[in-house]
Amino acid sequence: MLGALLLLRHSKSVVPKVTGLARLMANFTQVSNPITGQSGWQERDDNYDYHLEVANAGFGDMLHDWERNQKYYKALKKTIANMREAGKKVHVLDIGTGTGILAMMALRAGADTVTACEAFMPMANCAQRILAANDASQVRLIRKRSTEIVMGVDMTQRANLLVAELLDTELIGEGAIGIYNHAHKELLTEDALCIPARANCYAQVVESSLAAQWNSLKLLANLDGDILLRPPKELQQCSGEAALHDVQLSQLPSNSFRCLTEPAEIFEFDFQRKQPRELKRQRAVKIQLQHAGNAELVFYWWQIALDDAGEVLLSCAPYWAHPELCQLQNTCQDNRRPLANLVPWRDHWMQAIYYLPQPVQLQLSDAHLWLNCCHDEYSLWFEAHKQLPTEKQVRRHTCSCDLHMTYSRSRIGQLNQGTRNKRYLSYLEQAIQPDKQQHVLLLGDGCLLGMASAALGAASVTCVEPHRFSRRLVDSVVKHNALKSVTFFEQLQQIPADQLGKLTHIFAEPYFLNSILPWDNFYFGTLILQLQQQQLSEQLQISPSGARIYALPVEFLDLHKIRAPVRNCEGFDLKLFDQMVQHSAEQALSLVEAQPLWEYPCRALTQPQQLLSVDFYNFGQEQMNHGHLKLEDAFGVCNGIALWVDWEIVKDSPKSVVSTGPSETIVPGQFVKWDMFVRQGVHFTNYTEKSAQLDWNTTFKPQLGELSFKFTLSPQHIKNA
């Protein structure tokens, strides 16, 4: 299995004029290289944007969701049979047909006519071919949004059965309310049925010091417990962002949160009723308290009844609240599968965390709490109170402190990560001596840890912060803690030469806002190269001094499905879809993508191996490395390769390494525990057989910002031969 990666991302396509004999026009893409920080033009295939859109459409994930497929099919068969038994002809409308899978199910289940609409043109064209390949050409395909369909032109009659999959993790985030309202008004009969028929939303109030780290900034203390930095008042008083944090809740460590209440139903959405669904609602729900604690956040999920009688149910609940957990335990044939992974896996519908704008401390004597639940046409938000709230309207809260609007949830959590911070602070406490004239340069966005050097007694701290909001946030921390001799610059080039000549330390975490993969933060090395063109002190210390990239062959339980071919779904041939997606992925996707691996269990198939070692004192050195990894027969199929970076704060000191990979020692054959506050890199192999060996090659050209990997898996039968 071959794979390669060229780190060129953040692209925007344009079509500038080009001279040449072969053509007058070419498609060029403006590419931002995260390692060099430079933008340039790269010639692309004329259909590059098309391929990028197809490859990222995400239809494959849904088609691997066996529970979704089976239950939609079951509901269609049941509903169509009941309608025909009642003497009705069945005219089906499928909104957002994608591959046409639901339309084909409806046709095979006995519908008299089926009309399907799909606005995404590449998918609509593919659906037309899939319909023909499955003897379903009777399906009338409309290449429009449902809200653009004109009755009498696109459709000859109203449908009396609507089947659609318009839902997301939040349920309504893709505009389901408006689409259903329009369909009932313009496209459906008065007695039309819908699949799904209704949805019920659930909330559970939770205390979690772990999850709270993704939403606020903690005090920063030294190794003796003395406070170095306090969050400013505007940050402490900020309500945060109301936007959901979508996660695989079942993968949260069970000891990392405490449910203060049982799950409570907060809203019902009746997709079948003829009256319009409200665009906005607010409801105060009284919930019995189960445990005392600090109500900090809300776990959220939904359940749909696919048929009118509510007999075919599909729940997105985490495992501890899943209504079919016992049944799934009894039917699971994989005795190695963890309890948390018995519920059907899906990545298109997950669960969500909503952070309460004001946490509420609750005692058992409070008996209950009031959860103010609100939604508009596309989103939800919550507030918690001890007493029945009297507000007539609860506004959707927004960030007022710059933290939440500037940094991702994972970055906010990283800033609070105790083990990581202790290792950096241990270095700073040893490096910064108040009785010496030490001058520190901070590189990276939001380098709050580096600001501790000012509190530790550095003579001066120079901070390069190119992003306005990030700079404003760090400056507020500086002012609130009365840190002295701190200056900010937007660019390295603005720092006076004499100030650079006085530097004794350069420090970074490192983190940059435009980084996606862990090694994108090698931009730190590019900045060091620029500084080395100046007259710097020979005694200048650089931290981190180096970085190492590691690879680990793994067997994912489920994550590999997002890039795996579908082939067949409920008896329908979808190989044409596989071919389209595969071709587009080869044209447009990097073969290593970023994923928060703590949410996606995988077993290690061997010990990790170092692919690349970078010395930031000599960052410009090009490298070409190669090697191989022996895979253990008994541990599983290598369907993915995980990659990460270890940062060496001080050279050759194992205790001063900050890893973006595993948080515990790797044991081959066992599940890997990953750092929960960064995303790792993943290469999917699409391999379905056991392999004997992984061969790899790595090429690094730092001044060009090119980092490429190539992986080759040797099948088991070659070894045995």
Nearest-angstrom CA–CA distance, 215 and 205: 16
Which of these, 202, 166, 198, lies nearest to 348 by C-alpha position?
A: 166
Distance of CA 371 to the CA centre of its chain: 27
**3 state DSSP class of 124:** helix
Q: Of these residues, 53, 67, 174, 593, which one is catalytic?
A: 174
CA distances from 266 to 213, 263, 281, 282, 303 (A): 26, 9, 11, 10, 12
Q: Is the peptide bond before 338 cis (omega within 30 degrees of 0)?
A: no
- The secondary structure of 43-63, three-state, reads EECCCHHHHHHHHCCCHHHHH
Nearest-angstrom CA–CA distance, 116 and 152: 15
165 carries an active-site annotation: yes
Q: Of these residues, 165, 241, 296, 599, which one is catalytic?
A: 165
CB atoms within 10 A of CB 704: 12
CB 432 within 8 A of CB 494: no
Q: Is 479 exposed, middle or buried (0-12, 13-18, 19+ CB in 10 A)?
A: exposed
- Residue 276 is encoded by which pair of tokens? 């319009």
664 carries an active-site annotation: no
CB 600 within 8 A of CB 559: yes
Please tell me the total number of residues recorded for the chain in this structure. 721
- The secondary structure of 412-439, three-state, reads HHHHCCHHHHHHHHHHHHHHCCCCCCCE
CA distances from 539 to 355, 617, 701 (A): 47, 12, 27
- Residue 132 is encoded by which pair of tokens? 């023909």
CB 593 within 8 A of CB 516: no
Which of these, 62, 61, 10, lies nearest to 31 by C-alpha position?
A: 10
Distance of CA 441 to the CA centre of its chain: 32
**Residue entry with tokens 């329009």:** 182
Active-site residue list = 165, 174
